[in-house]
Structure 1
Amino acid sequence: MTEQRRSSDWRHTTLTELLGLRLPIVLGPFGGLSSVALAAAVSNAGGLGSFGLYGYDAERIRLAARQIRELTTRPFNLNLWLDHDNAAALAPTEAEFTSWLEPLLPYFHELDVAPPTRPAQFLPTVAEQFDAVVEARPSVVSFVFGVPSAGMLDRCRSAGIRAIGTATTVAESIALDAAGVDAIVASGFEAGGHRVSFLNTAEDSLMGLFALLPQVVDAVSVPVIAAGGIADGRGIAAALTLGADAAVLGTAFLTTDESAISPAHRERILSPEATRTVLTRVYSGRLARGIPNRMYSELTKKAADHSAGNATTGATALAPFPAQNWLTGRFKPAAIERRNAELMSLWAGQAGPLARAGSATELMSRLEAETSALLG
């Protein structure tokens, strides 16, 4: 169990001392939706800005780090997806690729986008990405979908980089603590985007934050960061009261001015439709939470038809990760350009209805004031 040093000021925790933060507020790292401006704004306001590196090759990683440093001198976090289930090595045959593409062809045709050919690879290697991260030397590197190796953690320590792991269950948090990470994110199933489970399937690792957080705090020896369903000062105060050293906010920052999401995505989060989110594999091949749309409904039916062996529909299997994410990513830019929210991945958490428009700096000020009003 972590021994937390708490002053009378909620802003001062073991984690804020460790990372040199003014506020125990962490920007969620958005894989594919990250913004240099947003990461820098959160860091400049005293929190920990984060930038997700999903799909980034070494040169893009180096560029993102340089751009963030041009906007802030404060600590920031780069986030890496570990190669869970050896996903980066996925190499379908031409026939398999064609069968995975077939359920998506109507969307390519609707958006006037030429269907893609089979790529040499769907993702850069984690080794390539990690080398670039160590070279970039952010204050923090956070990992999802597994436990970083001893070699990775040694290289982080040698470079002066703090390492944060991410857990969706108590068992995962214990594994991360034993490996020697500096802090652990306890991610409740309320969170938007991908469920980052790695010891069991994501469907068998769905714990709500209020159940997960105090159990993780009791089980590990390092600071714990709460994530999932937090969008205002009430959520931050609750997380700190349950033993967290900081809180992650994701969806609340997606609607800020500095966010990289499309106008159609932002409008959907700020609409009444954000009251319903679903966990699904149809967008990317991995379980993730977002606002349902027409693509979700149609692909869910196709997946069900295939599972039921419904020969009358000619249903074929949806692609696994990362192929499904890569394939849908070929037509999403056209959907964004046309403001067609029905053919996008509308990632959002269950606290989406609490999100507001405005700048990230304004949001950080509001979060500080709201939390101070509750914790003093």
Structure 2
Amino acid sequence: HEREREAETQEEGGTDLNLLLECLKYQMDNPFSQKEALVTIHSICQQNSNAGVYFREIGGLMFIKNLAKSSEHSMVKEAALYTLGAVAEQSVYCQQTLCTSELFEDLTSFLTNNDSNTNLKRMTVYVILVLVSNNRSGQTLVRETGCITVLTQLFRTVLSKYELDLSDKNTFQSYQLWSSVCSTLCVCVNNPQNDENQMLCCSLFPHANDWLINCIKPEVIRPICSFIGLTLANNTYVQKYFISVGGLDVLSQVLVQLESDSHKTLSSAKLAVVVTKTVDACIADNPTFGIILSKYQIVSKLLTLLLHESLDSGEKFSIILTLGHCTEDCGKEHALKESWPLNWSL
């Protein structure tokens, strides 16, 4: 009986998708109806992973892709892109179908078009993220089409002020776009690791450093640390470049500030662990870089942070791992000397 009900449900969903596709085709002069149909298609495909595959088979995926490009209405473009991303996220088959140079070029055009509003750009970035996630061919296409270059430019320009007032509607929308760009750049370089994309993205390190110095807020620190950590992970060349532009010094300064603030606020302690993980990603393969941390007394700062009662076992493990890499190649005497005041108090 359960199988029969499942089959009936799938059949009903298929019928609905056929009708909705017809609605899209015959409502070209009614953007509101098209948007409503797209939202419904999105809902059906989200509830049933097989629905997206069926929708692809009846030509719906390609129709929506073309609709996103040809429609004159921003609301239709946004809804079409959101639906494409959602369907591709549910099905690797749909992801592979959409993963073409043509679509990446269209997406790049949306991002560079002055007429594209912030929300349309955010939906565009979402589709790019889905196409590149866990997909080597997507990572290659995002680079070969120049799309990743546009993403790096957005990373630099979307947020123009360090005073981030997220209560302001326009600022919040810009922040959402910037955050999406950060997440997308992260998947461009990681899982699978992509050395070529890492090399391209490391040009953003100086800009990331400026933000870390001037805006110690969770909304900025977390995405930037994720971006830095994944961009330099397991890549000695990129790690050396990060250090050459003062990245490890900046991370150390931020960590010192957050550790100091952690005595007053729990959020600072949690954020300090995020920065600690990024420091570890930088020195894990190159323990000799740990000597740079000594001038900021990072070992003693980490030991103090380790005693923070609010941190869970996973966070403390991250600190211990970083401590190991910090002291691995910088000399036992120096490490003990730096941490001696804390050891004495213990």
Which of the two has higher C-alpha Rg?
A: 2
TM-score class, shorter-chain normalisation, is under 0.3
TM-score when normalising by structure 1: 0.21
Determine which structure has the larger helix proportion and give its number: 2
